[in-house]
Chains A and B, each alone.
Chain A
Amino acid sequence: GAGVSQSPSNKVTEKGKDVELRCDPISGHTALYWYRQSLGQGLEFLIYFQGNSAPDKSGLPSDRFSAERTGGSVSTLTIQRTQQEDSAVYLCASSLGPGLAGVEQYFGPGTRLTVT
């Protein structure tokens, strides 16, 4: 299992509930990214972690969204008080880290979130 893994693969939740999405990056990759992709749309950047540096949260759409990365490895994206517009596929990607070659991203299979 050398690839990026994400769980759960599907999540159905009621409006107003909190959800946690998990990403396990490729071993040795210091950079981790979260994206959101709505049906038929492009990739929307959410947050970027690089090693132990402070994350770049510039893409988070509201303060209901947060993410952490423990021990420089596994990351959790939390959405509080979910809304129907949060329904999308949430993709995690990892890469080696800074440098020309370090931005080659490898994506996980995604978590499909449906808010009812």
Chain B
Amino acid sequence: QKEVEQNSGPLSVPEGAIASLNCTYSDRGSQSFFWYRQYSGKSPELIMFIYSNGDKEDGRFTAQLNKASQYVSLLIRDSQPSDSATYLCAGSGGSYIPTFGRGTSLIVHP
């Protein structure tokens, strides 16, 4: 059974710090990985995707993928209170139906 695991949190960080969100996956056939941000009462919003081993940076966000360790992470630099949300990790292989983790709640406090 394909699984994507995330710590439910909450992860609490002070404003300006780096928030590190982690995700592990069980399906070695997974090729594409995605991070979604979901504010309370809203629908998920795609913020990052990564296909290749290594790091991918986009503004304050860096996604990291290590296929050997089956590990994906999202780093948020200079965290802001507006980053407070639930972050969903998802992985997809040949079926094109992503498997979602249950999400990590992030709280950035002033």
A contact set with B: CB distance below 8 Å: 31, 33, 41-43, 45, 48, 50, 56, 89, 91, 97-98, 100-110
Are B96 and A31 within 8 A (Cβ)?
yes
B contact set with A: CB distance below 8 Å: 31-32, 34, 36, 42-46, 49, 51, 88, 92, 95-98, 100-103
Q: List residues of chain B with CB within 8 A of the CB of A33.
A: 97
Are A104 and B34 within 8 A (Cβ)?
yes
- Interchain CB contact (< 8 A) of A42 among B31, B34, B92, B101: B101
Are A98 and B96 within 8 A (Cβ)?
yes
- Given known pairs A45-B97, A48-B97, the reply for A104 and B43 (CB within 8 Å) is no
Are B103 and A42 within 8 A (Cβ)?
yes
Are B45 and A43 within 8 A (Cβ)?
no
Are A104 and B46 within 8 A (Cβ)?
yes
- Given known pairs A45-B97, A103-B98, A105-B98, the reply for A91 and B43 (CB within 8 Å) is yes
Q: List residues of chain B with CB within 8 A of the CB of A106.
A: 46
Given A48-B96, A98-B96, A105-B98, 8 other A-B residues pairs in contact with their CB atoms under 8 A: A42-B103, A56-B97, A100-B31, A100-B32, A101-B49, A103-B92, A106-B46, A110-B43
